[in-house]
Structure 1
Amino acid sequence: MRTLTLTTALLAGLSLTLAACELGPDAPSRGPVLIPAAAEGATCDVPADLTPARPYRIPADEVAADVPVAFNMLAVSWSPQACRSGKDYPDERYQCAQNQFGLTLHGLWPNGADNRHPRYCAAPGPAIPVATVRKHFCMTPSPSLQQHEWAAHGTCGWDSPEAYFEQAARMWNGLNKPDLEAIPAQRLTAGAIRDAFVAANPGLPREGVFIATTDGWFREARLCYARDYRPMRCPRGLGAPDRERLKLAPTGTAQTPR
């Protein structure tokens, strides 16, 4: 089993992130930028037996190949909530039993201008190559979810799963991940989580952070980006209102849910 330790020095990186956040993930670099990849102490074990998921039958009623892309969303999930609820990440053994994640990437989603979004824009082809699945496992720790994200979303803007996940990885690696567990339980609201993402990422507008919840639990933050991948305001609301009190599933099994 290969072990990747994703430990970073947050304080060393904070002073260097502003240029990258303002330019966007695809803009030319103005110099070296140190951006923490994950919370300090987080680890990711890439399983030796990791294999791609099988392609699945595309649901005909979800195909929307004719919808133009108006903007993009980067859906950043709270992994303990996915493990707690059993939603979004179907490979529990890899994500929940073998690893302890905090924030992980649900996906990069092209969005339409209204409530219709581009989806399943082309036949996804064979299973994602195992090298691609392994390369991006620590970002999206579920082969099944990787296959779904490529089929449902990646085919609506990229020619291959490699190109899709490379773009997602550039955005993911360019994002400072806030320590959500540092927020006191009595102050944990949708607004506090929104503020944490903005404070960690200068250049990210507060109106660009959509907060998704499930029955009072924080589920994920969906960050809005223009078609050129620059941060922007979310054009259709921000999800949970600032004042909404939330609970946060703990990363450690010995911890008590907040």
Structure 2
Amino acid sequence: MRPTLLIQSRVLGAIVGAALLLGACEPRLSSPVMTAATEGATCAVPADLQPARPYPIPADEAAPDVPVAFNMLAVSWSPQACRSGKDYPDERYQCAQNQFGLTLHGLWPNGADNKHPRYCAAPGPAIPVATVKKHFCMTPSPSLQQHEWAAHGTCGWDSPEAYFEQAARMWNGLNKPDLEAIPAERLTAGAIRDAFVAANPGLPRDGVFIATTDGWFREARLCYSKTYQPTACPRGLGAPDRERLKLAPTGVSGGAQTAP
């Protein structure tokens, strides 16, 4: 081999060897799908997804004149909804076609006491299909989206698009903790509360309300001011820190369908 070609061959070999060495030392990039540790779901928007039908306002639930004192962002554990059949009525989309972790139940304006603004205006026609699809991976149920807009969104926003955009800004700004990383023997309401606080600097510990169902974790309701700043929950924190809880595993489907 001629000297020039020999030098070029050796240089090329050194470059390739260095690249392989660096590749072996660097962590492998994960597949670009959302996980429980990041966004709380692996999500594919169903091709046949359609809006839910509007429904009449329940006269005994309408409270349009209650002033808003603060807001709650209700973050649900989807496997519990799939396990129990409660909270979300679209099992086929939420539980059979996807495996979600944390999902958004809704953004709720709250009153100063135990009475809250609800059904503040006629919700109008069905939410546009483009809006339903856009926010499916956040709230994977057309029926729940329709309900949240009618019951809560009409109490502060002029359109479903404006309501869900505000909810999405808060949802996307929230770091979702990996609740399945908490050992089962250490799973308490306090451990879940701590996980949300650790993942979200600035979220006060007394701003995390933990809701449960028969000893199972159901959802975390995070408290925000009227200007959407994290704040302490003014009426307690739900389950006490010491309460032992169970966490439904991801991938569970089935259950009777009941409206939230």
Residue 203 (structure 1) aligned with residue 174 (structure 2): no
Q: Does 1:72 align with 2:71?
A: yes
User: How far apart are 1:68 and its partner, in Å?
Assistant: 0.2
1:153, distance to aligned residue in structure 2 (A): 0.0
Partner of residue 221, structure 2 = 222
* Pairing 1:7–2:37 present: no
Q: Which residue is equivalent to 1:176?
A: 175
Q: 1:6 to 1:167 in 2, by over 3 A?
A: farther
Alignment partners' CA distance in 2, 1:118 and 1:253: 34
2:123 aligned with 1:124, yes or no? yes
1:145 aligns with 2:144: yes
Query: Is 2:109 the counterpart of 1:110?
Result: yes
How far apart in 2 are the matches of 1:183 and 1:64? 40
What's the CA shift for 1:253? 4.4
Letter in 2 for 1:173: N
The one-letter code of the counterpart of 2:214 is D
Deviations 1:36-78 (A, max 9, x none): 5x14xx4101000000000001100000000000000000000
Letter in 2 for 1:59: P
Correspondence 1:24-173 to 2 at 5 A: 36=38, 38-39=39-40, 42-173=41-172
Q: Match for residue 188 of structure 2?
A: 189
Please give the alpha-carbon distance, in whole angstroms, between the structure 1 residues aligned to 2:86 and 2:252: 18
Q: RMSD between aligned alpha carbons? A: 1.5
- Across the two proteins, how many residue pairs are aligned to each other? 222
CA distance in 1, matches of 2:183, 2:52: 39
Q: 2:258 maps to what in 1?
A: none
Partners of 2:78 and 2:101 within 8 A in 1 = yes
Whole-Å separation in 2 of the counterparts to 1:103 and 1:173: 12
- Quote the Cα distance in structure 2 between the aligned partners of 1:126 and 1:7: 32
Q: Deviations over 1:106-160 (max 9, x none)?
A: 0000000000000000000000000000000000000000000000000000000
- Is the alpha carbon distance of 1:219 and 1:253 closer, same or farther for their aligned partners in structure 2, counting shifts above 3 Å? closer
Q: Secondary structure at the match of 1:150?
A: helix
Cα distance in 2 for residues equivalent to 1:116 and 1:251: 34
Alignment-mate amino acid for residue 133 of structure 2: R
**Which residue does 2:235 correspond to in 1?**
236
Paired AA for residue 105 in structure 1: L
- 1:252 Cα deviation from its structure 2 partner: 3.2
What percentage of residue pairs aligned between the two structures are identical? 89
**Displacement, 1:161?**
0.0
- TM-score computed with the length of structure 1 as normaliser: 0.84
Task: Verify the 8 A CA contact 2:83 2:252 in the aligned structure 1.
Answer: no
Distance 2:249 2:74 in 1: 20
Could you say which structure has the larger radius of gyration? 2
Distance 1:116 1:252 in 2: 36
CA–CA separation in structure 1 for the residues paired with 2:119 and 2:109:
11
Residue 45 of structure 2 aligns to which amino acid in structure 1? V
User: In the aligned structure 2, how far is the partner of 1:64 from the partner of 1:201?
Assistant: 33
- Does structure 1 residue 251 correspond to structure 2 residue 231? no
- Secondary structure of the corresponding residue to residue 109 of structure 2: strand
What amino acid does structure 1 have at the position aligned with 2:143? S
Give me the whole-angstrom Cα distance separating, in 1, the residues matched to 2:33 and 2:227.
28
